[in-house]
Amino acid sequence: MPRSLIIKTRQHLSLVRNNKFIRNAGLLVGGTAFAQALMIAILPILTRLYSPEDFTVLAIYVSVLGIFSSIACMRLDIAIPIPDDDDEATSLLVLSLISATSLAAITLILICFWPNELAALSGQPKIESYLWLLPLGIWFSGTYSALQFWATRKKKFIDITKTRFSQAISSSCVQLGFGWAGITPLGLLLGQLINSGAGAIGLAFKTINESAHLYSRIKPNHILYTLRKYDHFPKYSTLEALANSGSIQLPILIIAAIAAGPEAGFLVLATRIMAAPMGLIGGAVAQVYISQAPEEMRHERLGSFTASIIGGLFKSGAGPLIFAGIIAPTVFPLVFGADWTRTGVIISWMTPWFLMQFISSPVSMILHLTNNQKAALLLQITGLIIRVGSLLVAALFFNSSLTELYALSGFIFYTAYMGAIIWFGKIQTKDLAKALSSGWSYILIWTLLAIATNYALK
């Protein structure tokens, strides 16, 4: 090896070791990689233990949980990393936990008094037997989100990574064990619940042990002051999150209610498969981005910093997503069984949507950092109208193409979302073009590899 190449390699490795962002993102990616790899590895077993109809029940549960858990903390959780003052951040944590507990209690009351009516709304009466899991899921999800943002603030990325391990192992064991025992679809739902619960309990013990001195300084008047100071998060960001989750989850509920057969079950499996690379890289990058972005903004480097993150996401994730979209119709029946052929077709349609989501979602907090909560809210409401509206139109005129139009509407929305990030984040076109330039060769390689794989398997 030439001496110059050795020197450049050493310099590159030194840069990686000294780059705080890369180290932290790599740590989270490692934990998430294990979790996602385990979840994907057991899917071919789960699709043989559980029927598409069981996955349809899971789809309804996950969709309803997704809507409520997105607003469980009134979005005060995402503000936890922002304050310079730890006392202020502690008050935000307490407010988040109170909010999550309150919403879970309200949901429990509704389920106790009107279980039949709530189940009827889904169009799947079978879900009534499992509604009791919903309040628990809301509480665990909200609590985990608040504690995770606190750990992010403290840069406790090792703790977050450990929770990813416990979540994946616990959830997988429950789903496999119940599936072998024939307790379906309860096993799928309990696994989903434990996926949040294991992480919340683990982070709670860490937070209590390491930050107990801060809680002793909490005063009711300071909590109220903090709530007033950050009231734009509940006012605007809560509606934004509700619109965002509604635009994703309501279409699944609509499809479950009106589509023939287990279409929602096929859709939820496709979403799980396509979410794997986003969970692996995008989720970790988003966690570290919000921990470092406030500092970059104070030094007036937020636009260029965000452009570099978008470029890195494009380079690392676009190729694998395109590869998955091309080979899915051929590979899915072979890996998951003939009953799941439809899922492979759905994945092909969802690929453009997930590609745009993958490169925009991790940096979407830039709208909040730049105090553009109103714009973020209007954008999410527009997305809700586009996605739900397109499905309602499809239900009237293109009933056989509900899922395809849902996927297309997702691509349209996230393309518009990326435009908003560029505009409000004041990202220079030259910075973005430079950041994206190195990704195109990787996309070409992945595309050619997908075409060759299809040819070899046919």
Task: Kindly give the confidence (pLDDT) of every residue in the chain, 458 residues in length, as a single tens digit, with 9 standing for 90 and above.
Answer: 444 434 443 444 444 444 555 666 566 666 667 777 888 889 999 999 999 889 999 999 999 999 999 999 999 999 998 888 888 999 999 999 999 999 999 999 999 999 988 888 777 788 899 999 999 999 999 999 999 999 888 888 888 888 888 888 899 999 999 999 999 999 999 999 988 777 787 788 777 777 766 666 778 888 999 999 999 889 888 887 888 788 888 888 888 888 767 888 899 889 888 876 676 677 778 877 887 888 888 888 899 999 999 998 998 889 988 999 999 999 989 999 888 999 999 999 999 999 999 999 999 888 888 888 788 888 888 888 988 888 888 888 777 788 998 899 999 999 999 999 999 888 999 999 999 998 899 999 999 999 999 989 87
* Whether residues 39 and 97 fall in one domain: yes
SS3 content of the chain, % helix, strand, coil (to 5): 85, 0, 15
**Residue 77 counted as domain residue:** yes
Q: Is 383 within 8 Å of 325 (Cβ atoms)?
A: no
* Whether residues 192 and 215 fall in one domain: yes
Question: How many domains, the chain?
Answer: 2
DSSP string, 55-96: HHHHHHHHHHHHHHHTTTTTT-GGGTTS-S-HHHHHHHHHHH
**Residue 292 counted as domain residue:** yes
* Whether residues 154 and 169 fall in one domain: yes
- Residue 184 sits at φ, ψ, to 5 deg, of -120, 150
**Residue 2 counted as domain residue:** no
* Whether residues 170 and 298 fall in one domain: no
Domain edge (last residue) among 206, 228, 250: 228
* Whether residues 30 and 84 fall in one domain: yes
**Residue 251 counted as domain residue:** yes
Q: Is 250 within 8 Å of 388 (Cβ atoms)?
A: yes
Sign of CA dihedral 415, 417, 421, 422: positive
DSSP string, 317-352: HHHHHHHHHHHHHHHHHHHH-GGGHHHHHHHHHHHH
* Whether residues 315 and 181 fall in one domain: no
The CA distance from 182 to 379, in Å, is 44
* Whether residues 269 and 392 fall in one domain: yes
**Residue 366 counted as domain residue:** yes
pLDDT score recorded for residue 74? 93
- Write down how long the chain is: 458
* Whether residues 255 and 154 fall in one domain: no
List CB contacts of 308: < 8 A, sequence separation 6 or more: 431, 435
- Both tokens of 260, joined, read 């023939």
pLDDT score recorded for residue 215? 65
Domain edge (last residue) among 202, 228, 254: 228
Closest CA to 436 of 288, 308, 323: 308
Closest CA to 34 of 280, 358, 271, 270: 280
**Residue 84 counted as domain residue:** yes
**Residue 5 counted as domain residue:** no
* Whether residues 217 and 293 fall in one domain: no
* DSSP label of 50: S
**Residue 76 counted as domain residue:** yes
List CB contacts of 298: < 8 A, sequence separation 6 or more: none
CB atoms within 10 A of CB 41: 11
Find the domain containing 135 and state its range: 22-228
The CA distance from 329 to 273, in Å, is 13
Which residue in the block uniquely carries the two structure tokens 């090792």?
158
* Whether residues 378 and 447 fall in one domain: yes
**Helix H or strand E segment including 441:** helix 440-457
Domain edge (last residue) among 170, 196, 228: 228
* Whether residues 326 and 206 fall in one domain: no
pLDDT score recorded for residue 246? 86
* DSSP label of 458: -
pLDDT score recorded for residue 16? 44
* Whether residues 352 and 396 fall in one domain: yes
List CB contacts of 188: < 8 A, sequence separation 6 or more: 46, 50, 54, 55, 57, 58, 175, 178, 179
